[in-house]
Amino acid sequence: MMLCLEALFLEISRLGPTCITRELSEPSAEKDLFAKDSLQKVDSRDITSPQRANSPRRLPATNPGPAVISKMSHHEEPRAFHTRPHRHQGELEIGVTQAVGHIQQKESLHVVDIAPVPNFVKTWERKRPTWLMEMIAEAWGVFCYTYAGVGATAALVITTAAQEENLGGLLNVAIAYGFGIAFAIITAASTSGGHFNPCVTIAFCLFRGFPLRKVPRYIFAQCLGSFIAGICVWGQYHRELGLITDALKAAGKEAQIFSSSGPAGVIAIFPAAGASMGRVFLNEFIVDFFLGIVIWACLDPANPFVSAASVPFAIGMAYTAMIIGYVPGTIATNAARDFGARCAAAAIWGKGAFPSPYSAISTLANIPAMLCAVLFYEFFLSDSSRVVVSHAETLHQNAQAHAHHRRLTNEMIGESPTTIKRELGRVMTGHHMATESSSGGSKLEVDHKEKV
């Protein structure tokens, strides 16, 4: 037995790896026959058919022989070796992307899926113009901010004139403005983007690709919201503000009507008595620069220290801090809040609501300050190669899913809910996106762009 094993070992040593190499490099007749049979099956397919021509071909999992490889080198579609037949053109392939595809293709849950919506509301949602929604959202946002802050200012001025205590104060005004900004973002930012400030709109146009055609109507809507807020506060405090105005006129102090402690100062902003315009401009510029840095940091999609839920209160707290610290030096911080409310004050008390040159400083100084803040943040504090945080990615995906839902529900009017729901399940599939991009977008997308 031992002699037989020794002889076998010597024979293997003599032959070496040659026989193994030859066996691997030269396919047997059986393998070659199988390869030819596979080639015939491939060539026998009707590749001239439109459906077959665009569909991936699948070969056996067995390693093909040289004949097959040389034959396939003349084939039009070498992808037959790596494309799976159950996938459409442009869809995700196996491996890690398979798992990513399942995540992306997860069916989105929309409001209409969990709460019944009346048909007249659905009809209005399909027909309402996007530009009108955005303008109303911007006007409402500035209204919230201005209404809360001006209301607190009215309480301060009225209680001070009546010599009453503990019913108003600078801290109350600062907190009111801060919460007003937070409420504005919470209620309207998802519709218009939540600018609520002309300098933010201009910065978005210059640095974030915001459409230039939308800038004028956004600014107009913002100023309109501030104007309406000023009129509303005056209407609610009409009696008290009228008494203060009459008292100042009777005392021959009409100039005090247009001051920070006068009735017009409740709605519009006026500089402190004896303030230098140079110092007022410096105060306004630095405060607005600080606020611009905070706003841009909160909007940075790669900032891991700010969540979507904390953005409204982070920005609101920044405004609160600036009002507490620098209101004695006179600040406006928002061109729309200043100009719109100033127009309301002028409609009530006259042209004295536009003091020169302060009205120009309070309305325009925040714009260059914001642009300088954005440049500073982009050049020194941000990095475009950073990883986008999860909440920013979720917001982006939700926006895509919302747009897809609107497109389908508009295009599939009259279809059954089951059909619509099945189509909505393809929100983020590569095949769907490839189809849309290759076709140049649906008719509804073109109509939507025209409406916007």
pLDDT tens, position by position, 396-445:
666 676 676 666 666 556 566 666 555 555 443 333 433 333 344 444 34
Locate the domains of the chain by residue range: 130-381, 401-452
The model's pTM is 0.68
pLDDT tens, position by position, 130-180:
999 999 999 999 999 999 999 999 999 998 888 877 667 899 999 999 999
Cβ atoms 182, 200 nearer than 8 A: no
Residue 380 is classified by DSSP as I
Distances (CA, A) of 288 to 141, 277, 291: 19, 16, 5
Model pLDDT, residue 233:
97
Distances (CA, A) of 24 to 20, 185, 292, 445: 6, 69, 70, 58
Cβ atoms 226, 341 nearer than 8 A: yes
Pick from 451, 375, 370: nearest CA to 410: 451
- Say how far apart CA 146 and CA 167 lie, in whole Å: 19
Residue 213 is classified by DSSP as G
Model pLDDT, residue 90:
46
Cβ atoms 127, 448 nearer than 8 A: no
Amino acid at 299: L
Q: Rounded to 5, what percent of the chain is helix, strand, coil?
A: 70, 0, 30
Pick from 268, 412, 409: nearest CA to 350: 268
pLDDT tens, position by position, 278-316:
999 999 999 999 999 999 999 999 999 998 899 999 999
> What's the CATH superfamily of 130-381?
Glycerol uptake facilitator protein. (1.20.1080.10)
Which ranges of 310-365 would DSSP assign to H, the alpha helix? 311-326, 335-349, 358-364
Cβ atoms 366, 286 nearer than 8 A: no
| DSSP track, 96-118 | HHHHHHHHHTSPPPPHHHHS---
pLDDT tens, position by position, 24-69:
444 444 445 444 444 454 444 444 444 444 444 444 444 555 454 4
Distances (CA, A) of 39 to 35, 65, 83, 422: 6, 10, 17, 39
